[in-house]
Structure 1
Amino acid sequence: MVLTAAEQGVRRNDRPCTVCGGVHLSQDHWKFMADMPQDPIDLIDDLTKMGFYKSRSLSIAQTLNQAELRKQLFLKMAGRGNPKRERLCNDLIQLAGGLDAAFAAAFGPKAGEFFADANRISNATRRQFLRNIAVGAALVTLVNCAPREENRQATTQSAAGGGAVGENLEKTTLRVGFIPITCATPIIMSEPLGFYQKYNLNVSVVKMPSWAAVRDSAIAGELDAYHMLAPMPIAMTLGLGSATFPIKLASIENINGQAITIANKHRDRVRGPEDFRGFKIGVPFPFSMHNLLLRYYLASGGLNPDTDVQIDPVPPPDSVARLTVGDIDAMLMPDPFNQRAVYEGAGFIHMLTKDLWPGHPCCAFAASDRWIEDHPNTFRALNKAIIDGTGYASNPANRKEIAAAISSRQFLNQPQEVVEAVLTGNFEDGLGNTQNVPDRIDFDPYPWQSFAYWISSQLTRWNFLPEERANYEEIGQEIFLTDLARELAQEIGQTPPTEELRVERLKFDEFNPEQASAYVKQQVDKFGV
């Protein structure tokens, strides 16, 4: 039998790895690459047949987004081979809130589009693309083999004030990703206000530039847990828009807290959903309550969201700039960016989403199935800390304190008066009116199963989720950890609901979760889309 170069290398280098104890390419991982096939297609074929690349490694590598690739290439070029210079560049990027934000600050809001265009017109070939996947999968494999001693350090400590007394925490130093929006208030405020420390956790909240970056970082294992849009755990677990990656929605971060904001140039034109025809509208992510609620609203006016308007994903931090320069006509965004648009004189608030669905879910705290399985006690403590913080944020008397704690550059990087206007509900709407809406945003950690049912129904309605896969009860029970959230809330003295399902009352109809399939048909029959 004739062996390939790769197979011969395995025979020569089948000693245990000095890092993780397993057997892979060689003890130092890289020397063996010298006599690997040079053609990337042959390279991948050889390594896949030999079992070095797990299917998960390849799928993760394939889903790494262009933004991350741009960042790594930029760091290599800017670093000029100097690790210290590269680290400095990376620190500056993080300070700006991501590479796209850094370029937007330096070159204007269209910088991200320029780099995307540059990527599209490059001379990348299929072989170069496959080589990138091969390298990416190798990096994922090597990261997964790194020593994890910090994960194995258990601690038996007590937490004050209803905390996790006597729990053995598998890991105490954690990184939790967040998008700088008021929906993330419980996750963000729990660092400066001490809720993580209360449960014996040392948590760093990590600012992320976009929801795509959150998704890709989750898949790549770069974070311990995440601030996510409520539909994202469903989409990722079912493999909608990305590789299948099981995620659990542990608790809800906020209810309400979004708005439809329209550019001032359309001030005298828009009265209802039918007036949005021909608009370009920004939403933060395809799998978001923002997108689903926008579609629900537009369809009520007889518009087909897929043909009568253009809905574009826009990272929330870029939304006001895009509205200002006319790249979008309107947006359904999380706050504080709707209020920031009013503050900057760029737009006016057309409608709060609480008027479309009072008490609707928006964002959530989530973690991967694998991380939860590896860190069950830590996950429980972390979720309890956030549920505790959410309860604190639900009290209107605490909102000004919270606004002061989270407005700084480290977190939201917004004027405190803008954040305070959102959290207190005392705000200018951009039309000359001062509004007082105390529940413009609210905080309730309970993940109703009926939330999961409605989200799944709308994913089906708009062809994100095939109807034959829309098993509402199974999706809800598998992904939304309602029972655990209730248990943890009770342990810290909250009084969560005992029911899992309720009838949800929206602006144009009622949603009975026990008749979810019929609801979709009723919507289409009533509005024509």
Structure 2
Amino acid sequence: MAIASNRSQSQKWNNLSTQRGHLGDLEMMCLICGGFHMTQDHWQFLQTMPQDPVDLIDDLVNMGIYKSESLNLADTLNRAELRKALFLKAAGKGNPKREKLCNELSKAAGGFDQAFAAAFGPKSAEFFGDAAKISASTRRQFLRNVAIGAALVTLSNCGRNGNQQATSDQETEESVDVSNLEKTNLKIGFIPITCATPIIMSKPLGFYERYGFSAEVVKMPSWAAVRDSAIAGELDAYHMLAPMPIAMTLGLGSSSFPVKLASIENINGQAITVASKYQGQINGPEDFRGFSIGVPFEFSMHNLLLRYYLATGGIDPDKDVQIQVVPPPDSVARLAVEDIDAYLMPDPFNQRAVAEGAGFIHMLTKDLWPGHPCCAFAASDEWIDSNPNTFRALNKAIIDGAGYASNPENRREIAEAISARRYLNQPVEVVEAVLTGQFDDGRGNQRDVPDRIDFDPYPWKSFSHWISSQLVRWDFLPEEKANYGEIADDIFLTDLARELAQEVGQDAPEEIFRTENLMFDEFNPDEASNYVKRQIDEYGV
């Protein structure tokens, strides 16, 4: 990074810091999280901290905020070195590149003193003494200062750092054995949508670290990019739409590339959103005739559910409407400029359209099929064969994370963790509306739907049968190649998911099939072929 001069860079920093304005106290751009919050927020935690420094330190160590070994800093570092070390430890999160960036940002702010003041307010210096001058009588105060500094770094509105781990409901005190992992530095691809919550949150909330991984979650621009990066071997594992492992393994839309669906990331969590100009005109599927409608990928639950819904109104999805593939991050803009009339997309983009005044929510997909699968955690056969222990532990981390996300009490915390620029890059209130199910639907209704999105990692094989049946119905999969049982057994790792769920203390069904109850019919996985025939006979499509 080129640094022109401290004065000019400081001015740029001041401009960034004040661009959000004044709300009683200055909202500062935080060096740690990159977000904006009031500097006074850093001091709120002081009020509830134990007053005795030894009790305070013990409390913070027990909470996992920082390790007791960090107290050794008091014996070796002077005041400036201590402040710099604590700052880089929190801001860098153990990543040398991130620490280098923080160093350069601090230079741009005029040095560490100015950067520290920007993060913690002008009184930050009062919390640190000179380690070189510490005597036995002042050591307790020094330890208190160190503890408070560490706590402020990690407990303030900067979110969690890499050393702080969430604790799932069933977590025990037993450590996880990571000695047999073939690989610990991983790259996991994701699309920035709430369906990816278990994959995303496992980074800031520490689930990857708990299972022995240094994982990088890589934001991808589209599902085609996920597919292509998977085939090219650029990722270790991936966030995929539930139909994608089936399509990729069978060579639908690309060359055959065997992929396993290891666990389900989310159920429900999608919606049909319509441009605001059609307010009051859309009551059922028949009203979409002539529309241009966006879906995130051809081989997606979104496309299959949209086609299922439209057909019940006598709409031929291939003739009476135009279905376009639109990357989810582009969907709101495409709706706003009238490039499309509606979309069936993952959240938070349905809720974001409402927030932007671009559209209204016509229907949640949970109303089409309560408990339907959407996205999945997946990896290639080749990678699994080369890294069997790593795959098992990684899938276990995702299942553990999904269990944590399934608890409604954790949803607001998760929303804050995954809304950041490096993940969803969405307003926290939009993500909260999706995860809590308390939302404005854009039609003047304040709704409370706790299971608008939910997280159940169990991959029912009946999911595979329904997906395959619709691939046949819409001519993506030749009927003669639709061996429903073989496809499900080969691609859906249901037995492994059950085993791992039980290991982390979750309840998991013993059955692998269930009857699926949809809005317009009932799906018996044993009669998949007849189900398709009945649909065509009833609706003519």
TM-score w.r.t. structure 1 length?
Answer: 0.70
Per-residue displacement from partner, 1:432-484 (whole Å, max 9, x unpaired)? 11000000000000000000000000000000000000000000000000000
Match of 2:353 among 341, 345, 351: 341
Q: Does 1:262 align with 2:237?
A: no
Q: Secondary structure at the match of 2:212?
A: coil
Q: Following the alignment from structure 1 to structure 2, what is the Cα–Cα distance between the partners of residues 167 and 272?
A: 56
Q: Following the alignment from structure 2 to structure 1, what is the Cα–Cα distance between the partners of residues 433 and 282?
A: 24
Q: Following the alignment from structure 1 to structure 2, what is the Cα–Cα distance between the partners of residues 311 and 499?
A: 36
Q: Shift of the alpha carbon at 1:268?
A: 2.2
Kept in 1, the 8 Å contact 2:200–2:217? The answer is: yes
Q: Which residue pairs with 1:298 in the alignment?
A: 310
User: In the TM superposition, what are the counterparts of 1:130-145 in structure 2 within 5 Å?
Assistant: none
Q: Does 1:312 align with 2:324?
A: yes
Q: Secondary structure at the match of 1:328?
A: coil
Per-residue displacement from partner, 1:206-253 (whole Å, max 9, x unpaired)? 000000000000000000000000000000000000010000000000
Q: Secondary structure at the match of 1:169?
A: coil
Q: Shift of the alpha carbon at 1:164?
A: 4.4
Q: Does 1:434 align with 2:460?
A: no
Q: Which residue pairs with 1:481 in the alignment?
A: 493
Q: Does 1:281 align with 2:293?
A: yes
- What count of residue pairs does the alignment treat as equivalent? 373
Give unmatched runs, 5+ long, in structure 2: 1-100, 102-170
Q: Following the alignment from structure 1 to structure 2, what is the Cα–Cα distance between the partners of residues 461 and 161?
A: 50
Q: Which residue pairs with 1:457 in the alignment?
A: 469
Kept in 1, the 8 Å contact 2:275–2:360? The answer is: yes
Q: Does 1:353 align with 2:365?
A: yes
Q: Which residue pairs with 1:331 in the alignment?
A: 343
Q: Does 1:506 align with 2:518?
A: yes
The AA in structure 2 aligned to 1:429 is D
Q: How has the CA–CA distance of structure 1 residues 180 and 166 changed in structure 2, closer, same or farther, with 3 Å as cutoff?
A: closer
User: In the TM superposition, what are the counterparts of 1:417-432 in structure 2 within 5 Å?
Assistant: 417-432=429-444
Match of 2:177 among 165, 172, 177: 165
Q: Which residue pairs with 1:211 in the alignment?
A: 223
Per-residue displacement from partner, 1:307-344 (whole Å, max 9, x unpaired)? 00000000000000000000000000000000000000
Q: How has the CA–CA distance of structure 1 residues 288 and 161 changed in structure 2, closer, same or farther, with 3 Å as cutoff?
A: farther
Q: Which residue pairs with 2:158 in the alignment?
A: none
Match of 1:376 among 365, 388, 396: 388
Q: Secondary structure at the match of 1:295?
A: helix
Q: Following the alignment from structure 2 to structure 1, what is the Cα–Cα distance between the partners of residues 216 and 510?
A: 33
Q: Which residue pairs with 1:38 in the alignment?
A: none
Q: How has the CA–CA distance of structure 1 residues 461 and 272 changed in structure 2, closer, same or farther, with 3 Å as cutoff?
A: same
Kept in 2, the 8 Å contact 1:161–1:198? The answer is: no
Q: Which residue pairs with 2:235 in the alignment?
A: 223
Q: Shift of the alpha carbon at 1:181?
A: 0.1
Q: Following the alignment from structure 2 to structure 1, what is the Cα–Cα distance between the partners of residues 418 and 179?
A: 29
The AA in structure 2 aligned to 1:233 is P
Q: Does 1:251 align with 2:263?
A: yes
Q: Following the alignment from structure 1 to structure 2, what is the Cα–Cα distance between the partners of residues 189 and 279?
A: 36
The AA in structure 1 aligned to 2:355 is Y
Q: Shift of the alpha carbon at 1:269?
A: 1.5
Q: Secondary structure at the match of 2:238?
A: strand
The AA in structure 1 aligned to 2:307 is R
Q: Which residue pairs with 1:496 in the alignment?
A: 508
Q: Does 1:188 align with 2:200?
A: yes
Q: Does 1:200 align with 2:212?
A: yes
Q: Following the alignment from structure 1 to structure 2, what is the Cα–Cα distance between the partners of residues 165 and 375?
A: 16
Q: How has the CA–CA distance of structure 1 residues 291 and 455 changed in structure 2, closer, same or farther, with 3 Å as cutoff?
A: same
Q: Which residue pairs with 1:524 in the alignment?
A: 536
* Greater C-alpha Rg: 2
Q: Following the alignment from structure 1 to structure 2, what is the Cα–Cα distance between the partners of residues 419 and 307?
A: 35
Q: Shift of the alpha carbon at 1:161?
A: 4.8
Kept in 1, the 8 Å contact 2:182–2:389? The answer is: yes
Kept in 1, the 8 Å contact 2:264–2:457? The answer is: yes
Q: Following the alignment from structure 1 to structure 2, what is the Cα–Cα distance between the partners of residues 199 and 415?
A: 30
Q: Following the alignment from structure 1 to structure 2, what is the Cα–Cα distance between the partners of residues 256 and 440?
A: 6
The AA in structure 2 aligned to 1:181 is I
Q: Shift of the alpha carbon at 1:267?
A: 1.0
Q: Following the alignment from structure 1 to structure 2, what is the Cα–Cα distance between the partners of residues 503 and 162?
A: 38
Q: Following the alignment from structure 2 to structure 1, what is the Cα–Cα distance between the partners of residues 176 and 365?
A: 36
Q: How has the CA–CA distance of structure 1 residues 165 and 210 changed in structure 2, closer, same or farther, with 3 Å as cutoff?
A: same
Match of 1:402 among 403, 414, 426: 414
Per-residue displacement from partner, 1:355-407 (whole Å, max 9, x unpaired)? 00000000000000000000000000000000000000000000000000000
Kept in 1, the 8 Å contact 2:434–2:452? The answer is: yes
Q: Following the alignment from structure 2 to structure 1, what is the Cα–Cα distance between the partners of residues 333 and 343?
A: 12
TM-score w.r.t. structure 2 length?
Answer: 0.68
The AA in structure 1 aligned to 2:200 is I
Kept in 2, the 8 Å contact 1:162–1:491? The answer is: no
Q: Following the alignment from structure 1 to structure 2, what is the Cα–Cα distance between the partners of residues 471 and 162?
A: 43
Q: How has the CA–CA distance of structure 1 residues 502 and 240 changed in structure 2, closer, same or farther, with 3 Å as cutoff?
A: same
Kept in 2, the 8 Å contact 1:407–1:419? The answer is: yes
Q: Does 1:179 align with 2:209?
A: no
Q: Following the alignment from structure 1 to structure 2, what is the Cα–Cα distance between the partners of residues 224 and 240?
A: 22
The AA in structure 2 aligned to 1:502 is R
Q: Secondary structure at the match of 1:306?
A: coil
Kept in 2, the 8 Å contact 1:179–1:210? The answer is: yes
Q: Secondary structure at the match of 2:513?
A: coil
- Structure 1 moving runs of 4+ over 6 Å: none
Q: Secondary structure at the match of 1:435?
A: strand
Q: Does 1:447 align with 2:476?
A: no
Kept in 1, the 8 Å contact 2:178–2:212? The answer is: no
Q: Shift of the alpha carbon at 1:165?
A: 2.7
Q: Shift of the alpha carbon at 1:162?
A: 5.9
Give unmatched runs, 5+ long, in structure 1: 1-90, 92-158
The AA in structure 2 aligned to 1:525 is D
Kept in 2, the 8 Å contact 1:160–1:199? The answer is: no
Q: Secondary structure at the match of 1:282?
A: strand
Q: Structure 1 vs Structure 2: percent identity of aligned residues?
A: 76
Q: Secondary structure at the match of 2:489?
A: helix
Q: Following the alignment from structure 1 to structure 2, what is the Cα–Cα distance between the partners of residues 253 and 162?
A: 25
